[in-house]
Amino acid sequence: MDIGVVLQCTPPASRVVELARIAETHGFSHVWTFDSHLLWEDPYVIYSQILAVTRKVMVGPMVTNPSTRDWTVTASTFATLNEMFGNRTVCGIGRGDSALRTIGHPPATLARLRESIGVIRELGNGRSARVGDTEVRFPWARDSRLGVWVAGYGPKALDLTGEVADGFILQLADPDITAWTVARVRAAAERAGRDPDEVTICVAAPAYITDGSKEALAHAREQCRWFGGMVGNHVADIVAKYGADSEVPAALTDYIAGRTGYDYNQHGRAGNTHADFVPDAIVDRFCLLGTPDEHVHRLHELEALGVDQFAVYLQHDAKTATLDAYGESVLPHLTHPLPATQSAG
Looking at the DSSP bridge assignments, the partners of residue 310 are 3, 203
**Model confidence at 96: pLDDT above 50:** yes
The stretch 104-127 carries a mean pLDDT of 96
- Residue with the bigger pLDDT between 178 and 273: it is 178
CA distance 254 to 264: 22
Assign 100 a pLDDT band (cuts: 50, 70, 90).
confident
Assign 266 a pLDDT band (cuts: 50, 70, 90).
low
pLDDT given for residue 167 in this prediction: 98
**Model confidence at 344: pLDDT above 70:** no
With vertex at residue 284, the alpha carbon angle to CA 169 and CA 185, rounded to the nearest 5 degrees, is 25
Task: Give the chain's mean pLDDT.
Answer: 92
CA distance 8 to 66: 20
**Model confidence at 241: pLDDT above 90:** no
Assign 232 a pLDDT band (cuts: 50, 70, 90).
confident
The stretch 156-169 carries a mean pLDDT of 98
pLDDT given for residue 235 in this prediction: 76
Q: Is the pTM of this model over 0.95?
A: no
**Model confidence at 64: pLDDT above 60:** yes
Q: In the chain, what percentage of residues exceed pLDDT 70? A: 93
Task: Output phi, psi for 115, to 5 deg.
Answer: -65, -40
Radius of gyration for the alpha carbons in the chain, expressed in angstroms and rounded:
19
Assign 267 a pLDDT band (cuts: 50, 70, 90).
low
Q: What is the pLDDT of residues 206-220, one digit of tens each?
A: 999 999 999 999 999
**Model confidence at 257: pLDDT above 90:** no
pLDDT given for residue 260 in this prediction: 67
**Model confidence at 345: pLDDT above 50:** no
**Model confidence at 39: pLDDT above 90:** no
pLDDT given for residue 337 in this prediction: 46
